[in-house]
Amino acid sequence: MTQAQTTHHDHDGHHWKEPDRVRDYVDRKDREAVQRNEVFRLLTALVPEARTAPLRVLDIGCGYGPLATVVLDEFPQATAVGLDLSEAMIQIGSPRMARFGDRFRYLIADIGSGLLPDELAGPLDLVVSSLAVHHLRPEQGARLYRSIYQRLTPGGCFFNIDHMGAGDDYLQERYTQARECLEHPGGAESGEPPAPAPHNHERGSVAVHLEWLRSAGFQPVDCFWKRLNEALVGGFKLA
């Protein structure tokens, strides 16, 4: 497989069909659950609807269901569709999500084109995503935001928690340095150089994601949380 083929393969997210990789990822994310759930709860706190509202929710790149779980717990009358292309992820997620009964179902679909699947019923009140959109190329990401806006009911909203580019090589170096210091205290004193900055030029920065949201029609939009290369951005489709 050529380098170009490998890059395209990764962007499409098809490596998430590998069961061993999926299990390792889920185990790591389970260990990070405390910090992750704080951001998820912030997301749900931004939703303007009452907690008793029967929201129709879509979780894009749902994986094993961590974000959908928080949303359904916070909105006990909501129903959700978890969209994912990885059967390995769904095999892990299905028993975890079983406690929600018919309030949750999986839909196997690939958003690599930037379009939501035709078989997805709508309209939707809330669309969320966590660590999925960064697999798309910029033109696909912008198209996905437009597709989401079109499926939302007036008054609906969309939130995306994702890896985002720094937008500047110097900032990315600082982010990498900070991450290394936080993850390995004392590393700098021991003479260990920080890990090289990851290639992130194809990842949209927060500013780029906000522009995608505005261009799709969302208003107002904002970055509601940020920690180095991870951010929570979103927007509203006002009635």
Give the whole-angstrom CA distance, residue 42 versus residue 4: 38
Q: What does residue 2 show for φ and ψ, rounded to 5 degrees? A: -75, 165
Arithmetic mean of pLDDT, 138-157 = 97
pLDDT at 197 over 50: no
Please tell me the distance from the alpha carbon of residue 217 to that of residue 213, in angstroms, as a whole number.
7
Token pair, residue 168, equals 């500047």
What's residue 152's pLDDT?
98
Return the minimum-mean-pLDDT range out of 30-39, 56-65, 86-95: 30-39
Mean pLDDT of the region 5-23:
61
Residue located via tokens 């208003």: 219
Whether the CA torsion 195, 26, 61, 14 is positive or negative: it is positive
* Polymer length in residues for the chain: 239
Tell me what pLDDT residue 187 has.
61
Q: With a cut of 80, say whether residue 6 has pLDDT above it.
A: no
Annotate 71-82 with b (16+ C-beta within 10 A) or e (fewer): bbebbeebbbbb
pTM of the shown model: 0.83
CA 121 from centroid of its chain's CA atoms: 21
DSSP conformation class of 225: E
Domains by residue range for the chain, with CATH: 3-165+202-236 (3.40.50.150), 167-199 (no CATH)
Residue 11: the pLDDT is: 47
Q: What pLDDT is recorded for position 14?
A: 58
Given its phi and psi angles, is residue 213 left (phi above 0), alpha (psi -120 to 50 degrees) or beta? alpha
